[in-house]
Amino acid sequence: MPRYVRILLWSCLGVLLALAIVVALLATMNWNMARPWVSQRISQVIHRPVEIRGDLDVDWLRPRKESEGPRWLPWPQITANQVVVGNPAWADEGKTMAEASRLIATIDSGALFHRVFRLSSLHIEDASVLLERNEGGAVNWTLSETTEESKTPSKWTFDLQSLSLTSVRAQVIDATKELDFQTEFDSIAEPGADGYGLEWKAKGRYRQAELTGEGKSGGVLSLRDGAKPFPLKGEVSVGTTTIGLEGSVTRPQSLAALDVRLTLAGDTMADLLPLLGVALPETPPYETEGRLIAKLDGDADVWRYEEFKGLMGKSDLRGTLEYHRRKPRPLLTGQVESRLLRLRDLGPLIGLETSGMEKKEKKASDFKQPADKALPAKPLNTESWKVMDADVQFAGEKILRDEDLPLDNIKAHVVLSDSVLSLKPLNFGFAGGTLANNLVLDGRDKRIKADLSIQARHLKLKQLFPGAERMDASFGELFGDAKLKGQGVSLAELLGNSNGELQAVASRGTISRFLLEAAGLNVANMVMVQIFGDEQVVMDCLASDFAVEDGVMRTRVFRLETDDAVVDVEGRINLAEERLDLQIRPQNKTVRIFTLRSPLYARGTFKNPDVGVEKGPLAARVGAAVALGVIATPFAAILPLLNVGTDQSTGCSSFASAKGDTGKAAPAKQEAGKETQQSNREQQIERTDDAGEKDEAGFPKNITP
């Protein structure tokens, strides 16, 4: 054999022997000796102390078909036991960021030639991870020491192709949100077509409330495809609030979009503020279900709760709402409908107190109504008006109001813009008739500015008076108009400096002491007793017209006509001081009633009214005026209410035909009443001026028939 052949053979044998020795060493090597070196290198990469406390072993596998490297190059499968990753220096001592009983990683060695660190598979078993944010906002999951490091692109890329979890627990502690919960994950053995790859269970606390939940989601690796929806299904309970959802999330890392079937239930919607970031009022227990669609784009997020149905207390709600996140305030829009609403359920949404909510919100600093005040003096809270804007349409079939009459056929358009709340319109059926309202409340300043208009039509007196149904009597209808403007911090202040007018006409009714007492009309009840005693009286017509200036109501017209008498009322009502100053002048239409010869007065406060018989010069003066028939009654201002457009007579025909004096005085008595006549003529001019600008027919332009 030639020498060069022998040299070549020995060289090949040497190489093969060296390879055999290397393979033998790798196969039989005690890899535990390499644990310090491996731990140190990993620590340098993630800037966290890493320690492999258990065995470290390497097995060599045949490359898979999809490998980009040579088929003869084996893949190492590394098994590390008892791996511990430490926390940053600011974290509590004794806590670790991650611990795993076993990590099994298979590396595609062929991909290393292309600067790709590819894990063909990674299995994590019996592991725990702690994700923590301290009160200063620092987090332990940021692994780079400096921002410059994160900006420098790496020449290597990382690729994880398969991940499986067995008994993996993740604990989240967020001191800024008072959140502390733990979630356990397990891989689903055979993921189905629905895309679910993980099962999870959660338990912990959120702001002193117990937190529990369970569900399933897409596999961790499906998070890599940001364009593909990530499936999610689960139910979470936080205290008394339960949230259930089923649907998908786009790019969960940044939450780009959401499309889920959402169910909510809880004791009060106010508890949703920390969960949803939406300020909602205290409410009765509720539950709702609908489709939640979100398009999230920084400061222009849009959340749409579509075709939801739910209950609040015993009230039902359904509709579609959109929440637009924008500056300077978010906007809530939509349409809401209801078949049945109870005012005690609806009250918290519109700022009204209910008995249940009063107990829940009671504080030592709660406002107490002054004992001498009848009008509500509690300051109106407009702070919630600054939280968001709103444009919501509402339609309801019926609203129940505890002991009061129900409302029906409700139509409302609620607009809230820059602390200005408007309800245009706020229309509903009431007492067999209708109430058409327009209300604007400007809450930009501490003193609210209010602008209110009300139009009442065909309100049935039989339904308005409690107990009237039990009486064998006929009852007519009530018509009214009101226009008021005012400002203040409470309802009492708003009325106390208001300006405008009030007009009302009631026809063909039966009144009695029993009815007035049941209705809580104390002054009217006392006047009734003084004039008619305890008798049941048939009322042909009642007409009233008040001018309101700086919170003082002055009578332009106030007349009650019955079968036997005509009663005129004149004077003023001070809403700011809640005081009465009225003169009541009854006139006989028949000779059988003798108690009507003396005028009456109504004075005192709303809380403590005083009704009695006038005596002395004032009684004589008023009596002379009545006898002379020179009391002017400008009914033109309320003709639209006297003539309500019905085919039947209202019983107020004598009022509608009145054009000035109520009668003619005898010549012999005219001189005696000259002074009174002149005084009343001056009052008539003032009332006519107050009626406002008139049209060609002589009627005020601001009154619509």
Which has the minimum average pLDDT: 135-149, 175-189, 551-565, 653-667? Answer: 653-667
Mean pLDDT to the nearest integer, 213-222: 82
Q: Which pLDDT does position 668 carry in this prediction?
A: 31
Longest dimension (CA), the chain: 170
Which of the two residues, 264 and 621, has the higher pLDDT score?
264
DSSP state of 667: H
Q: Which pLDDT does position 224 carry in this prediction?
A: 62
Q: What is the pLDDT of residues 676-689, one digit of tens each?
A: 333 443 343 333 33
Q: Is the pLDDT of residue 549 over 80?
A: yes
- Using an 8 Å Cβ cutoff, are 252 and 275 in contact? no
Give the rounded percent of residues in the chain with a pLDDT score beyond 70: 68
Provide the token pair at 131.
């994700």
Provide the token pair at 359.
């107990």
Q: If phi over 0 gives left and psi between -120 and 50 gives alpha, with beta otherwise, what is residue 564?
A: alpha
The domain spans of the chain are 457-690
Q: Is the pLDDT of residue 628 over 50?
A: no
Q: Which pLDDT does position 248 carry in this prediction?
A: 87
Q: Which pLDDT does position 537 carry in this prediction?
A: 74
Q: Is the pLDDT of residue 323 over 50?
A: yes
**Residue 502: φ, ψ to 5°:** -130, 135
Spatial separation of the C-alpha atoms in residues 311 and 288, rounded to whole Å = 6
Mean pLDDT to the nearest integer, 524-550: 78
Reference 184, options 197, 196, 198, 202; nearest CA is 202
Q: Which of 212-216, 600-604, 650-654 has the highest mean pLDDT?
A: 212-216
Q: Is the pLDDT of residue 588 over 80?
A: no
144: pLDDT confidence band, cut at 50, 70 and 90?
Answer: low
Q: What is the pLDDT of residues 46-105, one digit of tens each?
A: 788 899 999 998 888 888 776 666 777 888 899 999 999 998 888 777 788 999 999 999
Residues 6+ apart with CB under 8 A from 393: 334, 335, 336, 412, 413, 414
Torsion from C-alpha of 157, 163, 165, 169, nearest 10 degrees: 30
Element (DSSP H or E) covering residue 36: helix 35-46
* Placement of tokens 């829009």 in the chain: 333
Which of the two residues, 327 and 697, has the higher pLDDT score?
327
**Is the C-alpha dihedral spanning 429, 430, 433, 438 positive or negative?**
negative
Q: Where are the alpha helices (DSSP H) in 233-378?
A: 273-276, 343-346, 355-361
Q: Is the pLDDT of residue 522 over 80?
A: no
**The length of the chain, given as a count of residues:** 705
* Placement of tokens 């731990």 in the chain: 39
143: pLDDT confidence band, cut at 50, 70 and 90?
Answer: low
Q: Which pLDDT does position 218 carry in this prediction?
A: 83
User: How many of the other CB atoms lie within 10 Å of CB of 539?
Assistant: 20
Q: Is the pLDDT of residue 152 over 90?
A: no
Q: Which pLDDT does position 79 carry in this prediction?
A: 93
DSSP state of 191: -
Burial grade of 443 (CB within 10 A; 0-12, 13-18, 19 or more): buried
Q: If phi over 0 gives left and psi between -120 and 50 gives alpha, with beta otherwise, what is residue 93?
A: beta
Q: Which pLDDT does position 594 carry in this prediction?
A: 43
Residues 6+ apart with CB under 8 A from 544: 502, 503, 504, 505, 555, 557, 558, 559, 569, 638
Rg (CA), the chain: 42
Q: What is the pLDDT of residues 271-304, one digit of tens each?
A: 887 776 666 777 889 999 999 998 877 677 898 9
Q: Which pLDDT does position 5 carry in this prediction?
A: 53
Write the CA distances from 705 to 197, 446, 654, integer angstroms.
71, 37, 18
Q: Which pLDDT does position 350 carry in this prediction?
A: 54
- Using an 8 Å Cβ cutoff, are 51 and 84 in contact? yes
What distance, in Å, lies between the first and last C-alpha atoms of the chain?
A: 132
* Placement of tokens 């060695």 in the chain: 109
Q: Is the pLDDT of residue 422 over 90?
A: yes
**Residue 320: φ, ψ to 5°:** -140, 130
Spatial separation of the C-alpha atoms in residues 82 and 228, rounded to whole Å = 35
Q: Is the pLDDT of residue 148 over 80?
A: no
Mean pLDDT to the nearest integer, 358-374: 66
213: pLDDT confidence band, cut at 50, 70 and 90?
Answer: very high
* Placement of tokens 């890392």 in the chain: 253
User: How many of the other CB atoms lie within 10 Å of CB of 151?
Assistant: 8
At 509, the amino acid letter reads: G
- Using an 8 Å Cβ cutoff, are 489 and 453 in contact? no
- Using an 8 Å Cβ cutoff, are 143 and 200 in contact? no
Residues 6+ apart with CB under 8 A from 198: 165, 185, 186, 187, 188, 216, 217, 218, 219, 220
Q: Which pLDDT does position 524 carry in this prediction?
A: 66
Mean pLDDT to the nearest integer, 151-174: 80
Reference 424, options 454, 446, 401; nearest CA is 454
Which of the two residues, 697 and 39, has the higher pLDDT score?
39
390: pLDDT confidence band, cut at 50, 70 and 90?
Answer: very high
The beta strands (E) that lie in 598-671 are given as 600-605, 609-613
Q: Which pLDDT does position 504 carry in this prediction?
A: 92
Q: Where are the alpha helices (DSSP H) in 439-582?
A: 461-464, 491-496, 513-518, 522-532
362: pLDDT confidence band, cut at 50, 70 and 90?
Answer: very low
Provide the token pair at 112.
């290393």
Q: Is the pLDDT of residue 478 over 80?
A: yes
Q: Which pLDDT does position 357 carry in this prediction?
A: 46
Q: Which pLDDT does position 687 carry in this prediction?
A: 38
Q: What is the pLDDT of residues 553-565, one digit of tens each?
A: 999 999 888 877 8
| Average pLDDT of the chain to the nearest whole number | 77
Spatial separation of the C-alpha atoms in residues 132 and 140, rounded to whole Å = 6
Q: Which pLDDT does position 470 carry in this prediction?
A: 58
Spatial separation of the C-alpha atoms in residues 359 and 152, rounded to whole Å = 60
Mean pLDDT to the nearest integer, 196-205: 90
The beta strands (E) that lie in 63-145 are given as 75-86, 96-107, 116-133
- Using an 8 Å Cβ cutoff, are 614 and 599 in contact? yes
Q: Is the pLDDT of residue 633 over 70?
A: no
Which has the minimum average pLDDT: 121-130, 141-150, 158-167? Answer: 141-150
Q: Which of 144-153, 219-228, 351-360, 480-489 has the highest mean pLDDT?
A: 480-489
Q: Which pLDDT does position 580 carry in this prediction?
A: 92
Write the CA distances from 257 to 227, 249, 289, 321, 653, integer angstroms.
10, 6, 19, 17, 68
Q: Which pLDDT does position 253 carry in this prediction?
A: 58
Q: Which pLDDT does position 274 carry in this prediction?
A: 72
Which has the minimum average pLDDT: 238-242, 251-255, 259-263? Answer: 251-255
Which of the two residues, 648 and 316, has the higher pLDDT score?
316
Write the CA distances from 253 to 176, 219, 626, integer angstroms.
20, 14, 86
Q: What is the pLDDT of residues 635-679, one digit of tens each?
A: 555 556 655 544 444 556 556 555 444 333 333 333 333 333 334
Mean pLDDT to the nearest integer, 598-625: 71
Question: Any bridge partners for residue 52, and if so which?
Answer: 83
